[in-house]
Structure 1
Amino acid sequence: MSRIEFRNVSFRYQEDMPWVLNNVSFAIESDEWVAIIGHNGSGKSTIAKLMNGLLFPEKGEVLVDGQSVNEETVWEVRKQVGMVFQNPDNQFVGTTVRDDVAFGMENHGMPRELMVERIKESLQAVGMTDYESQEPHRLSGGQKQRVAIASVLAVSPQYIILDEATAMLDPKGRKEIMQTIRELQHQRNLSLITITHDLQEVTQAGRVIVMNQGEVWLEGSPRDIFAKKEDLLEIGLDTPFVTKLAEEIKAAGVNLQREPLNHEELLEELWTLHSMR
């Protein structure tokens, strides 16, 4: 069974501290793109670490393809679940880009011939082939994040977690990274789990899980989630600018047929209404 599943998972960092996650249950299917959002402290980054075996649940169970994530299975799990962090410098261990992409494969004991092939494929996939001999610290923020993604891709996981992976990039770099990720997901039938504050990233996902105070507060499509503007504001979350603009247009008496997620959809709605007059 190809899915990540949380079964009644609870977690706290110390016994005398409050629960960060409280009885959380959900499933993420193979080739699905799920965004996990929530205010700071809602538990979303803890979820990412539990999926990858960086943490283990105190109560309940996390399963990857039917296999429980624990100290005995963690290395097998990490072959299936790759993780890209907010700051790519924290992931770099090699003196060159090539060494860095090779590191994860070496840990998994892959044969050298396969490693050479995977390094080439992974760097090509993220547009970094020409930087193979470069020192990672000399790259730009966007280039570093591409190398971090290539390092994860090289192990060939089924699931990739992006934990605020574009937070340190400028808008152009963010857009380029997400375009790369979207193309890779289609090419390789990957599951993507994005932990993010970026509302534009959220609109691209197929499903959204909203966390609030350590619990799953709401699940649904981005369109369904952002339609609940007042509820989101109550738990400290915002909505995209286009959603706010659409609300103002509706308040002015224009009857939009559906909740637009981006500028293109809003223009299409307005053009349709104009054509009907």
Structure 2
Amino acid sequence: MKKVFIAFRNVSFRYGEEYPWALKNISFEIFSDEWIAIIGHNGSGKSTIAKLINGLLLPQEGEIIVDGMPVNEETIWDIRKSVGMVFQNPDNQFVGTTVRDDVAFGLENRGIAREEMIQRINDSLDAVGMTDYILHEPHRLSGGQKQRVAIASILAISPEVIILDEATAMLDPKGRHEIMNTVNEVKNKHHLALVAITHDLNEITQADRVIVMSEGEVWLESNPRDVFSRKEELQQIGLDIPFIAKLADDLSSIGVPIKNQPLNHEELLIELWKYHSKM
């Protein structure tokens, strides 16, 4: 039976009494060893969810449970041992003069013994393919390399869930693809829960489940294929449709039957091959 690792129960939040509610009475659960994508337009509330999970913000109404603990001022430091967050701009997370120093920072704060610390640094950098850069200065790395180091720094503290808060937004398409593949490998190897906050529907294809936010509310909770199939509705709430979904629609409109909504190029090619083999 799956373990519920994160639970939002009727949670509402706003940034001040003069502001509208950023989140309005939302409820959902995230299981351990699950990849959840939380998507939505700017201002939909998705990044607020990330900060609430990690205790950077506390709700005005409702309750958040992480690893069996209610999120409050007394528990946030224990919760942060289980929850690691990677932000949009990795430069904001760097504190060390070298990659090694940066990955070591969180371990030193937790009083990890030196021998174990060295092993964790090496293992986490190896997991993201950055071992060769261990003595490099973080600010001299490329954007994708910086995000890999940020992920390694989180991985080193052995969290049970990693939150990516728009972590690929500053990267080009190739960099985004590489980071998401790296994250997927890390998740599967270490059996982590993964929460990916994004506005880019191209990043949800590998997720187990998708939560779509709109105007501070849960608009839809479903699987990626179902989300992709709701093209017109997604556009109405301000989300752009991935190229593959648009192409599948265009092909259908000229008489090429696409029975299963493709999530990627490979699935679209399979559908086209099925159609070609029947001609």
Tell me whether 1:246 sits opposite 2:211 in the alignment: no
Q: TM-score, normalised by structure 2?
A: 0.96
Equivalent position of 1:15 in the other structure:
17
Residues 41-56 of structure 1: pairs in structure 2 closer than 5 A: 41-56=43-58
State whether residues 42 and 199 of structure 2, in contact with CA within 8 Å, keep that contact through their aligned partners in structure 1. Answer: no
State whether residues 144 and 179 of structure 2, in contact with CA within 8 Å, keep that contact through their aligned partners in structure 1. Answer: yes
Equivalent position of 2:174 in the other structure:
172
Looking at structure 2, the residues matched to 108 and 7 of structure 1 have their Cα atoms a distance apart, in angstroms, of: 31
User: Which one of the candidate residues 92, 95, 99 is aligned to 1:97?
Assistant: 99
Q: TM-score, normalised by structure 1?
A: 0.97
Moved >4 Å (runs of 4+)? none
Looking at structure 1, the residues matched to 6 and 151 of structure 2 have their Cα atoms a distance apart, in angstroms, of: 20
Equivalent position of 2:193 in the other structure:
191
The farther-off stretch of 252-261 and 209-218 is 252-261
Please give the secondary structure, in 2, of the residue aligned with 1:204: coil
Letter in 2 for 1:58: Q
Tell me whether 1:211 sits opposite 2:216 in the alignment: no
Equivalent position of 2:37 in the other structure:
35
Letter in 2 for 1:80: S
CA distances 1:52-85 after superposition (whole Å, capped 9, x unpaired): 1111111111111211111111111111110000
Letter in 2 for 1:23: N
The farther-off stretch of 148-157 and 256-265 is 256-265
Consecutive unaligned residues of structure 1, counting only runs of 5 or more, are none
Equivalent position of 2:278 in the other structure:
276
Letter in 2 for 1:130: D
Equivalent position of 1:86 in the other structure:
88
Looking at structure 1, the residues matched to 52 and 89 of structure 2 have their Cα atoms a distance apart, in angstroms, of: 19
Looking at structure 2, the residues matched to 18 and 108 of structure 1 have their Cα atoms a distance apart, in angstroms, of: 38
The farther-off stretch of 231-240 and 153-162 is 231-240
State whether residues 4 and 29 of structure 2, in contact with CA within 8 Å, keep that contact through their aligned partners in structure 1. Answer: no
Please give the secondary structure, in 2, of the residue aligned with 1:118: helix
| 1:12 positional shift | 0.5
Tell me whether 1:265 sits opposite 2:263 in the alignment: no
Letter in 1 for 2:46: K
Residues 153-164 of structure 1: pairs in structure 2 closer than 5 A: 153-164=155-166
Looking at structure 1, the residues matched to 172 and 106 of structure 2 have their Cα atoms a distance apart, in angstroms, of: 28
Looking at structure 1, the residues matched to 4 and 120 of structure 2 have their Cα atoms a distance apart, in angstroms, of: 23
User: Which one of the candidate residues 106, 126, 133 is aligned to 2:108?
Assistant: 106
Letter in 2 for 1:193: V
Please give the secondary structure, in 1, of the residue aligned with 2:205: helix
Letter in 2 for 1:10: S
Consecutive unaligned residues of structure 2, counting only runs of 5 or more, are none
| 1:251 positional shift | 1.3
State whether residues 39 and 200 of structure 2, in contact with CA within 8 Å, keep that contact through their aligned partners in structure 1. Answer: no
| 1:252 positional shift | 1.4
The farther-off stretch of 91-100 and 196-205 is 196-205
CA distances 1:6-43 after superposition (whole Å, capped 9, x unpaired): 01110011122111001010011011111111110000
> How many residue pairs align between the two structures?
277
User: Which one of the candidate residues 66, 72, 75 is aligned to 1:73?
Assistant: 75
Please give the secondary structure, in 2, of the residue aligned with 1:105: helix
Looking at structure 2, the residues matched to 230 and 173 of structure 1 have their Cα atoms a distance apart, in angstroms, of: 29
Please give the secondary structure, in 1, of the residue aligned with 2:162: strand
CA RMSD of aligned residues (A): 1.1
